[in-house]
Amino acid sequence: MKDPRAKLASSRRKKEVTLERLSMFLESRKTGKSSDWTRMQADYMLDIFKNAAKHVPAYRSFLKEHGILSKDIKTSTDFLRVPPISKNNYLRKHSWEDLCLPGALAAHPLVLTATSGSTGKPFYFPRTTAIDEQSYIFHKTFLENSGLDSAEPTLVLVAFGMGVWIGGLITYEAFKRISDRDFPLTILTPGVNKKEIYDALREVGSQYTQLILCGYPPFVKDIIDGGAGNGVNWKQYDMRIVCAAEGFSEDFRQYIMRKTGMKDSYRDIMNIYGSADLGTMATETPISILVRELSLKSPSLFARLFSEATRLPTLAQYIPSFVSFESVDNRIYCTAGNALPMIRYEIGDHGGVMTFAELKSHFAAEGIDLKAEIKKAGIGDTISELPFVYIYERADLSTKLYGAIIYPEHVKHGLMHKELEPFVTTKFTMFTKHDEKQDEYLEVNVELKEKVTESPELLEKVTECVMQGLMQKSAEHKNNVGAMGDKVRPRIVFWHHGHPEHFSLGSKHKWVKKV
C-alpha cells in the first residue's frame, strides 16, 4: 500500500502546479474578454456543485432534503434551481466532518478562522493554503498597479486583528508570498495596537521610503489622525493603504489622501471584500473606483448601476475561478471550493453583480465614453474585464427611527464633514432608544479625538452635521423631519478617545448596538 505521507506529498505537488498555472493564466488576465469570464464562472460553479454532491455527505443530505437530484443539474440554467445554503440551514445543522471534503481535516494543512459573531454565534471555518494563494494574487495585482518601486525599501504594517479573525493572518500570508516571490518587503504585524505601530515607525521607519498600511477603515483613520501627535510624518513615505471588513465613502478616501500626501486615488488605496467564510473574495481596482466616482456625479448612471438610490456600495472585481457571485433579490450568493465547499452560499450581504460588458452598456446608455474616462484617469494599464460585485453595509446592522431605516453610512456621511475634522474621529455607535414618554429617539455616541473636550458649541455643530447627513442620505428620514421636526433630531453623546464603553480596540468596530 502506498505510504499516506507520499500520497499527501503528491497531492501538495499537484496543488502547487495548479496554482502556478492559475497564476500564469492571471498574468494574461488583461486580454481576457468579459464573455470568457462569464463562461468560466458557469463552468466553475457547476464543477463545485458536482464535486460537493458526489463527495460531501452534508451536501448530499441537503440536496435530498430539498428534492434535488444532482444528475439533473447540467447547465447554468439548471444551477439556478439549486437551493441556497446558509449558516442556519446548512452549516450549523451538520458536523464539521460531514461538511468538509473527505479527508480534508486530516490530509491537508489547515488554518481556522472565525466569523466575528456580530450576527450570532461564531462559526469556525477551515481553510487550505489555496485561500492564501488566491489572496496573494489579489494583493500582487494591487502592488503591480500601485506604482511602488521594488528597488526601494518597503515596510508593510499589518494592523488588522491578529487573533482568530481572518484579516491579519491572510494579509500577512499574502504579503509574505509577495516578498518571497516578487517584491522584497519587510512585514510587521502589530495588529490593532497603536502604541506598537507608532513605536515601530519611530524606531525603524526612517529606514524605509515606502509604506503599506493595512487595517480596518476606522482604525486606519485613527492611526493616521494620531500620527503627528506620536512623532510620525506620513508624508515622508511613498504610501499605500489596504483596507477591508467594511465599506467607506469617497469622502473618506479623499480625507486619507490629504492626510498622507498620497496622490493617486485609483491606485493608492484598495478596499477588500473578504470574509472568514471564504477569504479574499473581491477587491477594489482602479476601474471600480473610477466607476463609483463617476456614478456619484450622475444620478441616472448611479440608478442604472446600483439597486438602491440612497446608499453607496463598495464596488469590486472578482475572479470567477476563486469565488463566483450571484445576486438574487438583492441577496449575495457565493460559490467556492475549499476544504469546506460552498454552493450558492447566502453570506448575509446585499448587493448585485454585473459583467464588464454590462457595465460598458450602462455607460453607453448614459452617453458616457468609458474608454475616454479610463484614459483621462490614466489607468489604462490596469484594466481587466473581470466581473463586478457591489456590496452594501449589512442590512441587519441598522436601526430604525419612526419607520426610517438608519444605516451607519448615513451617520458617517455627517461626521465626515470638514468642519468636524479637528474634533471627532468619525467612529460612533448608535441605537434607537425610548424616553420616559416612550417616544423613540436616535442616540449617537461619538468618539472625540485625543485632547479634545466637549462643549455646547461642538455638540450643536456635530448634531447639525449628523442631522444633515441623515436628511441627505435618507428620504424617509427627511420626510419624518418635515412631519415631526426636532422629535427625530439625533441625540449626540460624546465619549473621550478610546473609551471602553464604545470604543475599545478589538477586531472590528460595532457601529450599531441593541438596547
pLDDT tens figures, 411-428: 999 999 999 999 999 999
- The SS3 assignment for 426 reads strand
Q: Where are the beta strands (DSSP E) in 227-338?
A: 238-244, 269-275, 279-283, 314-317, 324-328, 331-336
Lowest-confidence region among 254-258, 494-498, 506-510: 506-510
pLDDT tens, residue by residue, 131-157: 999 999 999 999 999 999 999 999 999
- What letter would DSSP give residue 482? H
379 to 283, 289, 344: CA distances (angstroms):
16, 11, 34
Residue in the structure block whose three cell numbers are 438574487? 328
401 versus 347: the higher-pLDDT residue is: 347
pLDDT at residue 504 is higher than 80: no
> Using 50, 70 and 90 to split pLDDT, how confident is the model at 369?
very high
18 phi and psi, to 5 degrees?
-60, -45
The whole-chain average pLDDT of the chain stands at 89
> Kind of pairing, strands 440-448 and 491-495?
parallel
> Using 50, 70 and 90 to split pLDDT, how confident is the model at 452?
very high
Distance CA 13, CA 10 (A): 5
Q: What pLDDT is attached to residue 23?
A: 57
Q: Please tell me the chain's helix, strand, coil percentages from 3-state DSSP, rounded to the nearest 5.
A: 45, 20, 35
Q: How many of the other CB atoms lie within 10 Å of CB of 63?
A: 20
Nearest to 292 by CA among 220, 364, 212, 388: 388
Distance CA 36, CA 33 (A): 5
pLDDT tens, residue by residue, 30-60: 778 999 999 999 999 999 999 999 999 999 9
Residue in the structure block whose three cell numbers are 515622508? 236
217 versus 81: the higher-pLDDT residue is: 81
Give every CB contact of residue 232 below 8 A, 6+ residues apart in sequence. 198, 201, 202, 205
pTM of the model: 0.82
513 versus 410: the higher-pLDDT residue is: 410
Nearest to 12 by CA among 109, 102, 133: 109
Torsional class of 120: left (φ above 0), alpha (ψ -120 to 50), beta (otherwise): left
- At 64, list the grid cell: 435530498
Q: What pLDDT is attached to residue 506?
A: 56
pLDDT tens, residue by residue, 374-384: 999 999 999 99
pLDDT at residue 333 is higher than 60: yes
Nearest to 452 by CA among 489, 421, 496: 496
- At 489, list the grid cell: 433630531
Q: What pLDDT is attached to residue 396?
A: 58
pLDDT at residue 469 is higher than 70: yes
As a residue count, the chain comes to 515
- Report the alpha-carbon angle 85-87-92, nearest 5: 115
Q: What pLDDT is attached to residue 163?
A: 77
